[in-house]
Amino acid sequence: MKISIGCDHIVTEIKDYIASYLEKKGHEVIDHGTYDKQRTHYPIFGKRAGEKVASGEADLGVVLCGTGVGVTVSANKVKGVRAALVGDMEAARYAKENLNANVIAVGGRIVGIGLIENIIDVFLETEYKPSKEKEEIIKKIDALVTNEEQMNNDHYFDEFLEKWDRGEYPKQ
Protein backbone atom coordinates (compact mmCIF):
# COMPACT_ATOMS: atom_id res chain seq x y z
CA MET A 1 0.00 0.00 0.00
CA LYS A 2 0.98 3.63 -0.45
CA ILE A 3 0.82 5.41 2.89
CA SER A 4 0.95 9.15 3.42
CA ILE A 5 2.36 10.16 6.80
CA GLY A 6 2.84 13.43 8.65
CA CYS A 7 3.57 14.77 12.12
CA ASP A 8 4.60 17.87 14.01
CA HIS A 9 7.95 18.51 15.72
CA ILE A 10 6.86 16.98 19.03
CA VAL A 11 6.80 13.43 17.65
CA THR A 12 9.20 13.42 14.69
CA GLU A 13 11.17 10.44 15.99
CA ILE A 14 7.97 8.43 16.42
CA LYS A 15 6.86 9.28 12.88
CA ASP A 16 10.31 8.22 11.58
CA TYR A 17 10.05 4.96 13.48
CA ILE A 18 6.57 4.32 12.06
CA ALA A 19 7.75 5.13 8.54
CA SER A 20 10.46 2.44 8.82
CA TYR A 21 8.00 0.06 10.44
CA LEU A 22 5.66 0.45 7.47
CA GLU A 23 8.46 0.13 4.93
CA LYS A 24 9.68 -3.07 6.56
CA LYS A 25 6.17 -4.41 6.10
CA GLY A 26 6.43 -3.70 2.38
CA HIS A 27 4.46 -0.48 2.17
CA GLU A 28 5.51 2.58 0.22
CA VAL A 29 5.66 5.58 2.55
CA ILE A 30 5.21 9.17 1.42
CA ASP A 31 6.67 11.16 4.30
CA HIS A 32 5.37 14.75 4.40
CA GLY A 33 7.42 15.71 7.43
CA THR A 34 8.11 17.37 9.60
CA TYR A 35 11.65 16.05 9.46
CA ASP A 36 13.30 17.52 12.54
CA LYS A 37 12.56 18.96 15.98
CA GLN A 38 12.27 22.57 14.89
CA ARG A 39 9.00 24.08 16.07
CA THR A 40 6.31 24.03 13.45
CA HIS A 41 2.55 23.61 13.32
CA TYR A 42 0.55 20.38 13.27
CA PRO A 43 -2.15 21.57 10.77
CA ILE A 44 0.44 21.89 8.02
CA PHE A 45 1.15 18.18 8.22
CA GLY A 46 -2.40 17.02 8.79
CA LYS A 47 -3.36 18.97 5.69
CA ARG A 48 -0.46 17.74 3.56
CA ALA A 49 -0.77 14.09 4.52
CA GLY A 50 -4.55 14.24 4.13
CA GLU A 51 -4.42 15.86 0.71
CA LYS A 52 -2.36 13.02 -0.71
CA VAL A 53 -4.98 10.56 0.47
CA ALA A 54 -7.86 12.66 -0.82
CA SER A 55 -6.20 12.99 -4.24
CA GLY A 56 -5.65 9.24 -4.49
CA GLU A 57 -1.85 9.55 -4.56
CA ALA A 58 -1.82 7.54 -1.34
CA ASP A 59 -4.15 4.74 -0.30
CA LEU A 60 -4.27 5.64 3.39
CA GLY A 61 -2.76 8.10 5.83
CA VAL A 62 -1.15 8.06 9.26
CA VAL A 63 -0.79 11.33 11.17
CA LEU A 64 0.65 12.14 14.58
CA CYS A 65 1.13 15.05 16.92
CA GLY A 66 1.54 15.24 20.69
CA THR A 67 -2.08 14.53 21.57
CA GLY A 68 -3.18 13.64 18.03
CA VAL A 69 -5.97 16.19 18.36
CA GLY A 70 -4.54 19.06 16.31
CA VAL A 71 -3.41 16.94 13.41
CA THR A 72 -6.76 15.10 13.29
CA VAL A 73 -8.84 18.25 13.30
CA SER A 74 -6.83 19.69 10.41
CA ALA A 75 -6.70 16.48 8.35
CA ASN A 76 -10.46 16.26 8.66
CA LYS A 77 -10.86 19.64 7.00
CA VAL A 78 -9.48 18.24 3.76
CA LYS A 79 -12.32 17.28 1.47
CA GLY A 80 -12.49 13.50 1.15
CA VAL A 81 -10.53 12.79 4.32
CA ARG A 82 -12.07 10.83 7.14
CA ALA A 83 -9.46 10.90 9.88
CA ALA A 84 -9.99 8.96 13.10
CA LEU A 85 -8.08 9.80 16.28
CA VAL A 86 -7.78 6.58 18.23
CA GLY A 87 -5.99 5.25 21.28
CA ASP A 88 -6.83 1.58 20.96
CA MET A 89 -7.18 -1.17 18.38
CA GLU A 90 -10.95 -1.54 18.70
CA ALA A 91 -11.53 2.09 17.75
CA ALA A 92 -9.15 1.70 14.79
CA ARG A 93 -11.10 -1.33 13.61
CA TYR A 94 -14.42 0.47 14.07
CA ALA A 95 -13.22 3.52 12.16
CA LYS A 96 -12.27 1.49 9.09
CA GLU A 97 -15.10 -1.00 9.18
CA ASN A 98 -17.91 1.50 9.67
CA LEU A 99 -16.78 4.93 8.52
CA ASN A 100 -14.22 3.80 5.95
CA ALA A 101 -11.69 6.07 7.68
CA ASN A 102 -8.82 6.75 5.30
CA VAL A 103 -6.48 8.42 7.80
CA ILE A 104 -5.60 7.13 11.26
CA ALA A 105 -4.27 9.50 13.90
CA VAL A 106 -2.59 8.92 17.22
CA GLY A 107 -1.15 11.06 19.98
CA GLY A 108 2.53 10.19 20.02
CA ARG A 109 2.91 11.59 23.54
CA ILE A 110 -0.10 9.68 24.79
CA VAL A 111 0.03 6.23 23.18
CA GLY A 112 2.99 3.87 23.57
CA ILE A 113 4.92 2.82 20.50
CA GLY A 114 3.87 -0.84 20.71
CA LEU A 115 0.22 0.13 20.76
CA ILE A 116 0.74 2.58 17.89
CA GLU A 117 2.14 -0.31 15.82
CA ASN A 118 -0.88 -2.45 16.70
CA ILE A 119 -3.31 0.36 15.92
CA ILE A 120 -1.76 0.90 12.51
CA ASP A 121 -1.72 -2.83 11.76
CA VAL A 122 -5.42 -3.12 12.58
CA PHE A 123 -6.23 -0.02 10.56
CA LEU A 124 -4.40 -1.33 7.47
CA GLU A 125 -5.73 -4.86 7.75
CA THR A 126 -9.38 -4.11 8.49
CA GLU A 127 -11.71 -3.93 5.51
CA TYR A 128 -14.51 -1.42 5.24
CA LYS A 129 -17.81 -3.32 5.42
CA PRO A 130 -20.16 -1.29 3.24
CA SER A 131 -23.90 -1.13 3.69
CA LYS A 132 -26.51 1.18 2.20
CA GLU A 133 -26.81 3.07 5.48
CA LYS A 134 -23.06 3.51 5.87
CA GLU A 135 -22.67 4.66 2.29
CA GLU A 136 -25.41 7.23 2.72
CA ILE A 137 -24.03 8.74 5.89
CA ILE A 138 -20.42 8.77 4.67
CA LYS A 139 -21.54 10.54 1.51
CA LYS A 140 -23.37 13.12 3.60
CA ILE A 141 -20.40 13.64 5.94
CA ASP A 142 -18.02 14.02 3.00
CA ALA A 143 -20.24 16.74 1.58
CA LEU A 144 -19.85 18.89 4.71
CA VAL A 145 -16.53 20.49 3.84
CA THR A 146 -14.51 22.44 2.48
CA ASN A 147 -12.49 25.40 1.33
CA GLU A 148 -11.44 24.33 -2.15
CA GLU A 149 -9.11 27.30 -2.59
CA GLN A 150 -6.76 25.98 0.08
CA MET A 151 -6.32 22.55 -1.44
CA ASN A 152 -2.64 21.99 -2.21
CA ASN A 153 -1.71 25.44 -0.94
CA ASP A 154 1.35 24.62 1.15
CA HIS A 155 1.67 28.18 2.42
CA TYR A 156 -1.74 28.42 4.05
CA PHE A 157 -0.27 28.29 7.57
CA ASP A 158 2.83 30.39 6.90
CA GLU A 159 1.62 33.25 9.13
CA PHE A 160 1.74 30.90 12.13
CA LEU A 161 5.27 29.76 11.35
CA GLU A 162 6.25 33.41 11.21
CA LYS A 163 4.80 33.84 14.71
CA TRP A 164 7.09 31.07 15.99
CA ASP A 165 10.01 32.84 14.41
CA ARG A 166 9.09 36.14 16.06
CA GLY A 167 8.82 34.35 19.45
CA GLU A 168 5.14 35.15 19.83
CA TYR A 169 4.18 31.77 21.28
CA PRO A 170 4.76 30.50 24.79
CA LYS A 171 7.30 27.65 24.86
CA GLN A 172 5.74 24.25 24.06
Query: Which of 66, 75, 96, 122 is the binder for ligand RB5 (CB under 6 A)?
Result: 66
Catalytic residues: 65
Shortest Cβ distance from residue 99 to ligand RB5 (Å)?
A: 21
Of 49 and 65, which CB lies nearer to ligand RB5 in the complex structure? 65
Which one of 51, 63, 70, 157 is in contact with ligand RB5 (CB under 6 A)? 70
**Shortest gap between Cβ of 1 and ligand RB5 (angstroms)?**
26
Q: How many residues bind ligand RB5 (CB under 6 A)?
A: 9
Listed in sequence order, the residues at least 6 apart from 114 whose beta carbon sits closer than 8 Å to its beta carbon are none
Distance (Å, whole) CA 88 – CA 110 = 11
Query: What three-state secondary structure class fits 86?
Result: coil
At closest approach, how far in Å is the CB of 2 from ligand RB5?
A: 25
Q: Which residues pair with 111 in a beta bridge?
A: none
Q: Is 6 in contact with 45 (CB distance < 8 Å)?
A: yes
38: CB partners within 8 A, 6+ apart: 9
Span 7-46, contacts to ligand RB5 by CB under 6 A: 8, 10, 42
Part in contact with ligand RB5 (CB under 6 A); list of ranges 14-22, 47-55, 66-74, 159-167? 66-74
157 binds ligand RB5 (CB under 6 A): no
**Closest C-alpha to 55, from 80, 76, 82:** 80
Task: Report in angstroms how near the CB of residue 72 gets to ligand RB5 at its nearest.
Answer: 8
| Non-local CB neighbours of 43 within 8 Å, separated by 6+ positions | 70, 71, 73, 74, 157
Kindly report the number of other CB atoms within 10 A of residue 167's CB atom. Answer: 8
> Considering only 21-29, 61-69, 80-88, 94-102, which stretch makes contact with ligand RB5 by CB under 6 A?
61-69
Residue nearest to ligand RB5 (CB): 66
Cα(121)–Cα(126) distance, integer angstroms = 8
Residues at the contact surface with ligand RB5, assessed by CB under 6 A:
8, 10, 42, 65-67, 69-70, 172
